[in-house]
Amino acid sequence: MKILVVEDEERVAHFIQKGLREEGHAVDTAADGEDGGFLAEVNDYDLVILDIMLPKKNGVAVCRDMRDHGINTPVLMLTARDSVEDRVRGLDAGADDYLVKPFAFEELLARVRALLRRRSDSKTPILSIADLELNPISRSVMRNEIPIRLTTKEYALLEYMLRNPDKVLSRTLIGEHVWDMNFDPESNVIDVYVSHLRAKVDKKHTVSLIHTMRGQGYMLSVKAPPA
């Protein structure tokens, strides 16, 4: 999943970013409300973690502008002030949940999972193509009812491809959604991970689902693309 963290405290932002990346999420960061609002409008995120007290533009205003522009991405508000008034302001602006600083990362992660699960449930609970299935809730993968064990990053890559079946995904798109916006598209890391994923998903199966589109990227499809 692709997550935006808007937090002006560098230590807190790094703490959140590091933990979420270890969970397999692609994470972008912004240090003020103007940059955060811009990124939320031009990129497609699965979740925005938004501090209330931000330079240039506070989190409540950022959240309200997102909703006014029709951006329905779930928003988790962060604040150092635990008052009913602050919570009401954030929720009235369109936030989906609220977390008071300081917090344990385990609690943040639980809230992140709940919001992402809610977003997934509003779409398709089980992602599938042919006999390949991925359950975003249990984070399990099976093909032909046989479990497939994936690393965190392999899982994130497969989930992104399953959410975009029959589409050519360039290395730049994959890098931005599975890693982050600073990913170097010239790196061969994506090719390595696709190779590992193909060995686990397609090996020993008659029908190959992961296809290389020469000079363009990769595609997940039942039908092999024309040569």
Segment 126-184, tens digit of pLDDT: 889 999 999 877 789 999 999 999 998 899 899 999 988 999 998 888 888 888 777 77
pLDDT band at 35 (very low <50, low <70, confident <90, very high): very high
Question: CA torsion angle for 174, 112, 77, 59 (degrees, to 10)?
Answer: 0
Crossing angle, helix 189-201 and helix 152-162, to 10 degrees? 80
What is the share, in percent, of the chain residues with pLDDT greater than 70? 95
Find the radius of gyration of the CA atoms of the chain: 19
Quick check: pTM over 0.85? Answer: no
Q: What are the two backbone dihedrals, phi and then psi, of residue 212, each rounded to the nearest 5 degrees? A: -90, 125
Give the CATH number of domain 127-220: 1.10.10.10
Segment 95-137, tens digit of pLDDT: 999 899 889 999 999 999 888 877 665 555 788 999 999 987 7
Domain ranges of the chain: 2-121, 127-220
SS3 156: helix
Non-local (6+) Cβ contacts of 97 within 8 A are 74, 75, 76, 77, 111, 114, 115
Check: CATH 3.90.1330.10 for 2-121?
no
